[in-house]
Amino acid sequence: MGYIRIMGGRPLHGELSIKGAKNAVLPILAASLLCDEKVVIRNVPNLLDVDTMTTLLERLGCEVDWDRERGVIEIEKGGRISMEAPYELVSKMRASFNVLAPLTLLNGRALVPLPGGCSIGYRPVDLHIKGLERLGFEMSMIHGIVEASIKEKPKGAHIYLDFPSVGATEHIMTAAVLAKGETIIENAAREPEVEDLANFLNRMGANIEGAGTSTIKIIGVRKLKGGVYFVIPDRIQAGTYMIMTAATRGDVLLKNVMLEHLTAPIAKLKDIGVHVHEVNDREVRITNDSVFSGTSINVLPYPGFPTDLQPQIMALLSIAKGVSVVKENVFKNRFMHVDELRRMGADIRLEGSTAIINGIEELSAAPVIATDLRAGAALLIAGLMTRGETIVKNIEHIFRGYNDIKENLKKIGADVEWHMIRTNIKGVRFSVKNNDLILGG
């Protein structure tokens, strides 16, 4: 485990280039198990979670070559693909649960551990299971292991999701591409990453229409070939750096973004008084010379304000004039960062899934603990915008979702010291030698 020491209170300046979206790459990697030929994925960010997924695919029997520098992953199914996903890899990264349907289709049966809960609350997979059952998969669970089996090809079905779950939409869509007949997913998740997965599958020969809307239609095909796919940029990384720049009253240009994916966060930043200069549809510059004013934020499935930016925007709102209200409608308990912000002096009251924030002049530097990936990002922002020395412990969570975070912070002038020790998270190793972070080291 480790920590970072942040000497905050300095405006950040410079420019950063945003890489591929973690939450697009992960389901695409899982779905690549269904492709009969080599798959090449480009614009892949160098992240711990991608490491975990590629390690899983190798353990399952795939040949995986990841050129981290060029951001290119090549995957080819070797000989036999295992039907069992190892606990230590699946239990710590929920996205790997989506190998269940592909492994079942390859072997007729598969066993995947139930993904563990995490600090953003209880995360069931009932919608995944119900959807796969509608396609003809037989599902059972014993001792925390989900077993799926299927005697013949899945049959197309009309599936309604009680909640527009991103993972369940992606899992069902992946399972349906080789089914007999037509599958309709109603109340599907509309996230750009769902659409990117559909575009990937169609590039490999699938027949999917409507991804990105609430109704997705999949006509089953006989097989999926291989090919090359370039992943969309990471809207959550882009949004995080936008909030970070605003919070430090800096001036940063972000390149290789897709502004159409950031409509809600941009609208809210403008409400707060942040200057958002949309240079073109791929570049955005953030500056700030005004006082922030509080606002209300309703966290919703896409295209609403994204839950993965909720902790970060709360850090900014803690110093916005007046009262802000943040309602979290996606996860039941995504407020673990609130106690840590309170340690820095934030005035936040929780009423169920609503946070009421009384903006104060400035937070005060203090030692805090990161409980998960996005809480870590929020505390990093809180430390950068606060004068004095803030220590963020368990900062390694941040490497799950922010590639080159060390280099990027340096590039925009953040005064941060990394104090890490060799650690093993989710079966993945990284370490710091002479203050250099080495993944897989």
Nearest residue (CB) to ligand EPZ, 172 versus 366: 172
Place of tokens 């998969």: 137
Distance CA 23, CA 292 (A): 30
In the complex, the smallest distance separating the C-beta of residue 22 from ligand EPZ, rounded to whole angstroms, is 6
Specify which residues 51 forms β-bridges with.
Answer: none
- Please, how many CA atoms are within 13 Å of residue 23, restricted to the half-sphere of its CB? 16
Q: Alpha-carbon distance 294 to 409, whole Å?
A: 27
CA-based end-to-end distance of the chain:
15
Phi then psi for residue 41, to 5 deg, are: -110, 130
Asked if 5 and 243 touch (Cβ cutoff 8 Å), the reply is no
111 vs 139, beta carbon nearer ligand EPZ = 139
Q: How far apart are CA 383 and CA 393, in angstroms?
A: 12
Give the residue with the Cβ less far from ligand EPZ, 56 or 320.
56
Mapping DSSP to helix (H, G, I), strand (E, B) and coil, where does residue 247 land?
helix
Annotated active-site residue 35? The verdict is no
Residues that bind ligand EPZ (CB under 6 A): 22-23, 26, 94-95, 123-128, 163, 165-168, 189, 193, 307-308, 330-332, 373-374, 401
* Closest CB 323 distance from ligand EPZ, rounded Å: 26
Triad 27, 201, 38: Cα angle to 5°: 85
What's the min distance (Å) between Cβ of 98 and ligand EPZ?
9
By C-beta, is 177 or 373 nearer to ligand EPZ? 373
Q: Which of 118, 129, 363, 377 is catalytic?
A: 118
Q: How far is the CB of 326 from ligand EPZ (least distance, A)?
A: 15
Instruction: Output the CA–CA distances (angstroms, integers) from residue 53 to 23, 58, 239, in the order listed.
Output: 12, 9, 24
**Residues 397 and 3 sit within 8 Å (Cβ to Cβ):** no
User: What is the nearest approach in angstroms of ligand EPZ to the Cβ of residue 136?
Assistant: 18
User: Measured from the CB atom, is 193 or 251 closer to ligand EPZ?
Assistant: 193
Backbone angles phi, psi at 36, to 5 degrees: -80, -15
Quote the least distance from Cβ 236 to ligand EPZ, whole Å.
6
Strands of the sheet containing 428-433, edge to edge, are 423-425, 428-433, 436-439
Strand partners, 75: 39, 64
Which of residues 121 and 427 has its CB atom nearest to ligand EPZ in the complex? 121
CB 191, min distance to ligand EPZ, A:
6
Q: Which two tokens stand for residue 149?
A: 């089996």
Three-state DSSP state, 95:
helix
Which residue's CB comes closest to ligand EPZ?
A: 167
- 2 beta partners: 420
Cα 427 to Cα 22, 26, 439: the distances in Å are: 18, 17, 12
In angstroms, the CA 158 to CA 151 distance is 20
Choose between 48 and 416: whose C-beta lies nearer to ligand EPZ: 48
**What are the residue numbers of the active site?**
118
